[in-house]
Amino acid sequence: MIKLSVNINKIATLRNARGHARPEVLQAARDIERFGADGITVHPRPDERHIRYQDVRDLAGIVGTEFNVEGNPTPEFLALVRETRPTQVTLVPDAHDAITSNAGWDTRRHQAYLTDVVAELHSYGCRVSLFLDPDPELIATARATGTDRIELYTEAYAQAYLHNPTAALAPYRATALAAAEAGLGLNAGHDLDLENLHYFAQNIPGLLEVSIGHALVCDALYLGLENTVQLYKRALKF
């Protein structure tokens, strides 16, 4: 069964727009778990424009499923992880002013750096995943860092799916097969939605988990949060 981890950044964005506590991020996480999600994902950024560092601390005490914290491994981020000890840390090379994640790691260029970071995160008891573009050539150096998993950056798939699903999937399937051969676990995320998720899940071998936030929260505005979580869970079945 492929796990669904719900990214609640957009819920925090809505809260921050008014500067108060509605919607309540911790209650949203509790409800999303109750509605059937397998995990909660957050991606704190230095400007705290959505999830705040204090949110991560608070969520660490109440998330009962898998807690996945994403981010660029700055000293501040690593200190937060050391304090909160999430289930999984997904390392993403996003710039401090990035609107959203827009590229994966070049594991060939950053292998030595990532090896040190992965070892540090393992010392905190965290599983580690590296955010990667769909490129089988990156798998050997990803594995050499000691990471447990990779997360495929699926924006390109989501865009190309509308025109040619088979072609859109091809580099992701090739990378997934290389990851399986290397003994790496496989996650995926970014722009996956109710239109393209089932086809992706059905055709990517070894997929363990997807992380979905923006599309799921948008759908929840029309469909309701409980119903939407269950629809995404259903899309992962085949």
- Check if 20 is active-site: no
Measure the N-to-C terminal CA separation of the chain; round to a whole number of Å. Answer: 9
| Position 94 confidence tier, pLDDT thresholds 50, 70, 90 | confident
Residues 204-223: what's their mean pLDDT? 98
Contact indicator for 119, 146 with CB cutoff of 8 Å: yes
Contact partners, residue 120, CB within 8 Å, separation at least 6? 78
- Check if 190 is active-site: yes
User: Which of the following is catalytic: 33, 50, 66, 70?
Assistant: 70
Residue 99 in this model has a pLDDT that exceeds 60? no
pLDDT at 19: 84
Mean pLDDT score across all residues of the chain:
96
User: Which of the following is catalytic: 50, 66, 190, 209?
Assistant: 190
Residue 95 in this model has a pLDDT that exceeds 90? no
Number of folded domains that form the chain: 1
pLDDT at 102: 67
User: For residues 27 and 164, what is the distance between their CA atoms, to the nearest angstrom?
Assistant: 40
**pLDDT tens digit sequence for 16-72:** 999 889 999 999 999 999 999 999 999 999 999 999 999 999 999 999 999 999 999
Range of 58's domain?
A: 3-235
CATH of the domain at 219: 3.20.20.70
Return phi, psi of residue 62, to 5°.
-125, -20
User: Which of the following is catalytic: 43, 50, 151, 209?
Assistant: 43
**pLDDT tens digit sequence for 77-89:** 999 999 999 999 9
- Check if 43 is active-site: yes
pLDDT at 184: 98
Contact partners, residue 207, CB within 8 Å, separation at least 6? 2, 176, 186, 187, 188, 200, 201
**pLDDT tens digit sequence for 24-39:** 999 999 999 999 999 9
Contact indicator for 187, 129 with CB cutoff of 8 Å: yes
Question: Which tokens go with 104?
Answer: 């994966």
